Chain A
Amino acid sequence: MKDVLYLAWRYLAHHRIKTAILVISITLIVYLPAGLNVLVNRSAAQLTARANRTPLLLGAQGSSLELVLNSLYFESDAPELLSWAEAQRVADSGLAEAIPLYVRFRARGQPIVGTSLGYFDFRGLELAAGRSMAILGECVVGAATAEKLGVGPGDSVVSSPESVFDLAGAYPLKMRVAGVLAPSYSPDDEAVFVDVKTAWVIEGLVHGHQDLAAPEAASAVLDRQGDTITANASVVQYNEISEENIDSFHFHGDLSGYPLTAVLAVPESDKSGVILMGRYEGEQEPIQIVRPIAVMDDLLDTVFTVHGFVVAALGLVGVATVAVAGLVFLLSLRLRRREIETMIKIGGSRAAVGSLLVSEMAAVLVLGTLLAGGLTLLTSRFGAVAIQTFLLG
């Protein structure tokens, strides 16, 4: 058998291009359905795991999928906004803990998540270094973000402007890193967490600037009407919150009208959850309340339906590829008829000659299947991350 395998190897090595094409074909027809299965199952498990751990989510009426993707995975555009008053409404109901979420801004590509300290307890996030954010302008970064941006406690992270062409927009805010989270292997690793008020500072709703009553600000003052002072754009706005200027930061307007992207509601009990949901059932209700797992299941139903079609199509392609590979093999047998006859004439046993041909085909199949297996393993390891990047990103 050793000699037959040697001859088979010599044949395959000599016809390396033909062999490579056959191996790649086999690899693809095995890998594509297997890899897709692994990818879909892994991604589904990862997506539903996080959704499962998030009981209820409140947001403005609109796309529930956008709301869930933005609030749980910090992906997708910001959904329709709701007001801080809605978080208060949930908290005041006594049915659930309300965790505000304002996920709209980014810092060098990383999502800035405006929330409260309750979020860390709810997600079970732990600090690997430093401390939680304590004052306005501080942030806590996820493990992956700390690594990507190369920051740790004491360093700074600057928010990115929403649009560089928006001259009236908010200035970038330089935030001090108070702490770094331990890896949680979830989207939280990618986030920059700030208090929701700091997120409002980034938006410009809360801001600090030089004292307009001070003599050095006189040139910026346009009008004085009692306590109301109107200034022009030359007034110095602070783009970093420090001990010296923190007292100058102030809110404009009614806090209850300040925006959020979602409110994460953690009910006291199942019954509380049901009651809370009932309160948002009205047809005219501007707020929607969703169970994230139900939204993700809807999404996955669609994905699995498409997946089924794709696997069926790949199956047909696989059958066609196997047929073509078989045809190639049969044509190759015709081309090698003289070679086979010569081996028989000089005394080669039919078993040896047959084994040689079968070994060649088996080697191609085994090599193709091994490669497909390797690719499937890689997919099971890195595929879920890839699908989050390509499907949700």
Chain B
Amino acid sequence: MISIEDLRFRYAKGEFALDIPALAIERGERVAVIGPSGSGKTTLLHLIAGIRTPQRGRVVTGGVEVSGLDGSKRRDFRIGNVGLVFQEFELLEYLSVLDNILLPYRINGSMKLDREVRRRAVRLAEEVGIGDKLGRLSVQLSQGERQRVAVCRALIAEPGLLLADEPTGNLDPANKGRVLDILISSTEASGATLVTVTHDYDLLDRFERVIDFKDFYSADAGEPS
């Protein structure tokens, strides 16, 4: 599913550098990525999703060499194949829960928003327990509910790969478990691959594999942005 070869990435400003000689993640695998802050875990997710491109090496995701695509093709690839969940949820405050879930279909002309997609959005919301809050604004929800909306947004396009950047970082213990349950059950049901950056070491036993990042980076100064 994901194959990284001889990758080197360095930010334009700063001494941070990420070197990954080789990394492979199988389709349907559940992988946790751990490591110290600033070690490049988020950067890895961005490289896999095609948000950033490496200075050297190849990133192949779902059979597509993402690192070789231009900007618009990477965005088109991402919206149809990769679901992203962020630590800060990143919901649009002026949209309702339903509109937030449907957002990927409204911001890329290659996606068609039809009845089936709307039905899927409602079904996803019901599955994660926010089916009765579809008309509310995100600011009217609890932290846990917001992250569940973000998960639904990531899953709405039925991606083969779900990348979650510390999805439980802002949640209380009860919600941590629940959100992780949702991520795992959703990807298991669809056969999607799940790559999650986390600092919650007590959740690691829920993953099939753990990648420790301390071996991949070097930093003389500064953190990756």
Question: Which residues of A does B touch, CB under 8 Å?
Answer: 3-4, 6-7, 10-11, 13-15, 338-339, 342-353, 356
Contact = CB atoms under 8 A, between A and B. Distances in A.
Contacts of A356: 107
A346 B95 contact: no
Interface of B: 49, 51, 71-72, 75-80, 82, 84, 86, 90, 92-95, 99, 103-110, 113, 137, 153-154
Nearest to A339: B92
Contact of A14 (B75, B77, B94, B105): B94
Contact of B108 (A14, A342, A352): A352
Contacts of A7: 95, 99, 106-107
A3 B102 CA distance: 10
B78 to A, nearest CB: 4
B76 A347 contact: yes
Given A339-B92, A349-B75, A3 B105 contact: yes
Contact of A346 (B76, B77, B79, B113): B79
B107 A3 contact: yes
A338 to B, nearest CB: 7
Contacts of A13: 94
A345 B153 CA distance: 13
Contacts of B80: 347
Contacts of B71: 350
A347 B77 CA distance: 8
B104 A347 contact: yes
Q: Which 3 pairs show the lowest CB-CB distances between chains A and B?
A: A347-B79, A348-B107, A14-B94
Contacts of A347: 75-80, 82, 104, 107-108
Given A349-B75, A349-B107, A342 B94 contact: no
Contacts of B105: 3
B111 to A, nearest CB: 8
A346 B106 contact: no
Given A3-B113, A10-B99, A342-B86, A348 B92 contact: no
16 contacts: A3-B105, A6-B106, A339-B92, A342-B86, A343-B103, A344-B51, A345-B78, A346-B84, A346-B103, A347-B75, A347-B79, A347-B107, A349-B110, A352-B107, A352-B109, A353-B107
A346 B93 CA distance: 16
A40 to B, nearest CB: 43
B78 A342 contact: no
Contacts of A342: 86, 90, 92
Nearest to A1: B109
Nearest to A12: B94
B109 A10 contact: no
Given A6-B106, A347-B78, A348-B75, A14 B93 contact: yes
A345 to B, nearest CB: 6
Contacts of B90: 338-339, 342, 345
A103 to B, nearest CB: 62
